[in-house]
Structure 1
Amino acid sequence: MATVMEFTSPAAEFPLGSVFETLPGVTVELERLIPHETLIIPYFWVRGAEAEDIEAAFAAHAGVRDIRLIDSVEDEYLLRAAWDREYVGILNALAEARLVVLTGVGTRDGWRFEVRGEGRDDIGEFREYCQQNHIQIEITAVHALLPIQDEGYQLTDTQREALVAAYERGYFNSPREASLEDVAGDLGITQQSLSSRLRRGHRRLIAATIVQE
């Protein structure tokens, strides 16, 4: 059974966290991770700085082979990096264990991740890699994916919680009866974390109910 793990890590432990050294006010959200034989390619959103400053900050990192701006939405920028797979860190640990990143949000205060493995063996492989390479992580939760009403489309507990809370508060109503800030406050999480959970939850529901593969 697929297993989800939530964990935190210091800002400097995750390679993308190098941006906080020169741009301490930014927020980084990992969108997806694509592993290759010699490279790991993360796509990530950055908020709180100008695009050229963000690119320069990441380009200075020893593990980065390439950094490109892919898209922008208002003051948020989507970037694609080519990271050297030989660089030891959480990026490589996630790739080696074949974990899917559901959410990954970082600030200068640290990172919060939610990842999925096909079973507890994948989660165990990730933990072992981190221990062997002295990568600091703190696991805060481990749980199984649960189907909603036996329909076959699966959400993590946190995604389901976010969707239900937003629905009950009237966030999806037109006009809206609650803001993202209101719902995030109810759940005790940041607006960025809530936005990520809603987006990924929507993606799962659409893939399971609308898209025919």
Structure 2
Amino acid sequence: MNESTIVQTRIPADRFLLAETMARGPDLVYEAEPFVLSDSDLFPYLWVRNHTDVDFEVHAEGDPTVRAVERLAAFDHEILYRVHWNRHGGVGAAVEAIVDEPSAVLQASGRDGEWEVKLRFDSKAAASAFHDACAATDVRLHISQVHREDGPRTSQWSLTTGQRQALVTALEMGYFDVPRGATAEEVSDALGISDAALSQRLRRATTNLVSNTITIGGPTGVGHPDAAADERAGGS
């Protein structure tokens, strides 16, 4: 059976998307909504942050990776665009390498000439083929994480199994209620770990959830493996 594999990597914008746009507007931050890339389309929806009214539209003019942009919604600090990419001849080699393998883009955020991308491949072999295709076209990847899917909908948020278990147990026992329905000691006893280990797991889990769901262009996958961190915290 193939095992779904998660790869988190940084990719230079000149081998991916929007390199010229980023150079013209270095303060802008971009985040693509999750999407399965295909020969017919790339991720169509792009959030742009730190904008003035028309920054992205102006900077994107003449960018070889973009055919057209369409503004869909505007808020105080973010604008949502529908981007029509120049699929043939414009996008970077890393995009082609992703499209060629069975994969989904779980996250993609860009700024300062670089993209932070989290990908799910159908198998470890597909992830390896992506890496090899990038190497063959001189795309320099800076891979920070490679791991198999280790739980229901946790890998895309960089939650470990232990972090998810700590969050769910704390929630079910009423630890987050006001007033609390359970103490930290009761939750840690239920998990079989120390109070300090529980505290560290909840902090790391919260950081990962916020970084991977609310912020744009923020860090992903922070936090130590649970076993090592729990040992330092005096837990098991």
Q: TM-score, normalised by structure 1?
A: 0.69
Aligned AA for 2:6? V
Task: Give a deviation string over 1:85-119, Cα, whole Å, max 9, x none.
Answer: 23333222222223211111221063222110111
Q: Aligned partners of 2:31, 2:61: CA distance in 1, in Å?
A: 18
Report the counterpart of residue 136 of structure 2 in structure 1.
132
Name the SS of the counterpart of 1:160 in structure 2: coil
More strand by share: 1
Q: After TM superposition, where is structure 1 displaced by more than 4 Å over at least 4 residues in a row?
A: 161-168, 172-175, 191-194
Name the CA distance, whole Å, in 2 between partners of 1:44 and 1:9: 17
Q: Residue in 1 aligned with 2:9? A: 7
Equivalent positions of 1:25-44 (< 5 A) are: 25-33=27-35, 35-44=37-46
Amino acid at match of 2:62: A
Shift of 1:48: 0.6
Deviation at 1:164, TM superposition (A): 7.6
Q: Any residues of structure 2 matched to 1:1-213 within 5 Å, and which?
A: 1-33=3-35, 35-86=37-88, 87=90, 88-108=92-112, 110-147=114-151, 153-156=152-155, 158-160=157-159, 187=207, 193=212, 195=214
Counterpart Cα distance in 2 of 1:38 and 1:156: 27
For 1:142 and 1:42, how far apart are their aligned partners in 2? 26
Give ranges in structure 1 of 5+ residues lacking alignment: 148-152, 176-182, 198-213
Tell me the residue number matched to 1:204: none
CA RMSD in angstroms comes to 3.6
The alignment-based identity, stated in percent, is: 20
TM-score with structure 2 setting the length = 0.63
1:36–1:117 CA distance, 2 compared to 1 (3 A): closer
Bigger mean CA offset, 44-53 vs 33-42: 33-42
CA 1:75 to 1:34, structure 2 compared with 1: closer, same or farther past 3 Å? same
Structure 2, gaps ≥5 residues long: 171-175, 180-202, 217-236
Aligned length: 185
Structure of greater Rg: 2
Deviation at 1:59, TM superposition (A): 3.0
Q: Secondary structure at the match of 1:112?
A: strand
